[in-house]
Structure 1
Amino acid sequence: MTAAVEESQTAAAPRIVPAGDEAVLVELGQEVRRDLNLRVRALAHMLTGPGAPAWVREVVPAYASLLVYYDPERASYAEVRETLSTLAMNGDDIDIPPPRRIEIPVRYGGDDGPDLEWVAQRVGLSPEEVIARHSRPIYVVYMLGFLPGFCYLGDLPPELAVSRRETPRLSLPAGAVAIGGRQTGIYSLDNSPGGWRWIGRTDVRLWDPDRDPPFLLQAGDEVRFVPE
């Protein structure tokens, strides 16, 4: 089973720039949007799936861009740039694997989520309603970053969007579930600094160096929070 991505013929031309001697950054937009992120994942799939160019070493997806590492002994920057431009702008349907869906059990509030009450007061809802609305959507992993395994999840219901802390915490536990703007995320390491609003915690390990692969989640996965 696959998910089809239709690249619009009128899609804006990508911005392609060098990122050092052996990497290229492909920018497909400047906004955090699911359709742009889907195009990023489709391009990543074309560069890593069957028939991918031999010069591709690694790809790193972000919200609306893709960092592509290449072998300069196999292709010049000009050749890489031309290929990436063609792939990013092609109008064919692109089949990519369907997303995995992972359920994450969460303990909300109390010592496991000390900012839950603050968020509830800020948005004018009860803590129970914040929990219900936070756990209702199916989130998409837009990208990994900041810490090994830290996932940026969207889109948070707009009524739950709150500002980050003015003074970040110096230490958060692994599994802390937090809100920052229109996104939510899960801190993956113990003693992590962070300025997002901490509302819950999970025992699920997002990063385990002894696991293969060490990352539980990857860009494009779907996540659903399940209150405990």
Structure 2
Amino acid sequence: MSAAFRQRPWEALLASLLAALFRRTVRRGLRGVWVQGELPAGPWVLAANHHSWWDAYVLPVLLDHWRVRFRIVVSDRRLAEFSFFRGLGALEASRVRQALYALRRKEALIIFPEGELHPPGRMGPLHRGAAWLAERARVPLLPVAVRVVLRGQELPEAYVVFGEPLAADLEGLERSLNRMLSDLDGQIGAALPEEPLPGFRLVLPGRKSTHERMAFWGLALARFTRER
């Protein structure tokens, strides 16, 4: 989704089409994306948990919405399966020189340091790549906690927490992410199921539940019958 890397005309067209597909997928498949915290000025290495298929859609669409120049680091195996990700600026995890070059061009990186999907809960073992890249490029690590949950509405909701930037320390990153995820899970467990979590702002509206869409017609019908 980042347009900063050099593209041929057909690659730029493909990138635009794929970006539009990602946006449509998020807006049609989720009730919305809610955010807590602020996105600092880049560049930085955004390190997030990877506990849902949605993570690789929500974060790129969110950064694209904010017009942040970024690349996303994808495992070599995953990129071989979904080669069209290259049209969105994806980099193989083994291409560390390209990742460093992107950071030096003031582009951000999205990395899932667990390397693959893990069950929700605490972070799985973290690979060192995110901290190594941040250290070599002399940029901060940006911890981000993501939960996509089905609560009291028809469609899932995405909640994204941006933490404070960190020095390039893998243990510090793991502690920060586990704390953020624990806090977020606690909020999800305690909040009213049909209401968004308090303290979050809606950044990307999605699709309302059927009963929310029907509520308008219910009110209109009630008003009509009263008037008669």
Normalising to structure 1: TM-score of the pair?
A: 0.24
Q: Which has a greater percent of strand?
A: 1
Normalising to structure 2: TM-score of the pair?
A: 0.24
